[in-house]
Amino acid sequence: MTTILAGPKPGARLFHEVFGGVSTRRLTLVEDVDQAGKPTGVVYAKEIYGKADEPTGNNRIYPKQLLTREITALQKQIAEKGGIIGELDHPADGKTQLKRMSHVVTKLELQPNGEIYGESKILDTEAGKTLKEIVKSGVATGVSSRGQGSVMINENGQEIVQEDFHLV
C-alpha cells in the first residue's frame, strides 16, 4: 500500500512498508516474569522484522546505510520516551491515534547481517488484545513501518529507497 502525499521534496511520498511479507513471519509472544519468576501479565512480541538490502513484502529495498541511520534515530527515541507507539493497522490518513494503539516498540536493532530485530510490548487495549489473539492463534503477521522519502526503480523493477527517506 502506498499513499502519495506532499513530501519534504518533489517526488517524496509517505509509504507503508511490510517487512518480511505479510504471510512469512510468526511473532513470538513472551510473557514477562518478576524476580521470583512469576508472570507479570506483560506480554512482548519479538521477531526479526526485516532485512536490509533485500526486497520487502512491498518490493522495496532499504540500503543498510540508510537503515543504520534511521534505526539509530529510533533507538534514541525509544531511550528518551520509553518506546514508540504502534497501531494494529495502517491509518488511512497517516496520523497515529492513541485510541488505535496496540503496542509499544521497546527495542530495535540492526544486526551485522542486516536483519532488523525488534521487540514490542503488547498493550492491554482492544487493539492490543486483538493483536495478541491473532499471534497466539499461530497466524503469520507482517511487521510494517511508515516512512517518507523518494525511491528510484532499478533494472529489476524494485524500488530502491533513497537518502531523503525518514521513518515516521
For residue range 97-138, what is the model confidence (pLDDT) as tens digits? Answer: 888 899 999 999 999 999 999 999 999 999 999 988 888 888
Distance (Å, whole) CA 80 – CA 94: 23
pTM of the model: 0.80
- Pick from 30-39, 56-65, 79-88, 140-149: least confident: 140-149
The answer to whether residues 84 and 101 touch, using CB atoms and an 8 Å cutoff, is no
pLDDT at site 148: 87
Q: What is the DSSP string of 95-152?
A: ---GGGEEEEEEEEEE-TTSEEEEEEEEPSSHHHHHHHHHHHTT----EEEEEEE-EE
pLDDT at site 17: 55
The answer to whether residues 160 and 61 touch, using CB atoms and an 8 Å cutoff, is yes
For residue range 59-105, what is the model confidence (pLDDT) as tens digits? Answer: 899 999 999 999 999 999 999 999 999 888 777 777 778 888 999 99
All cell numbers assigned to 118: 525488534
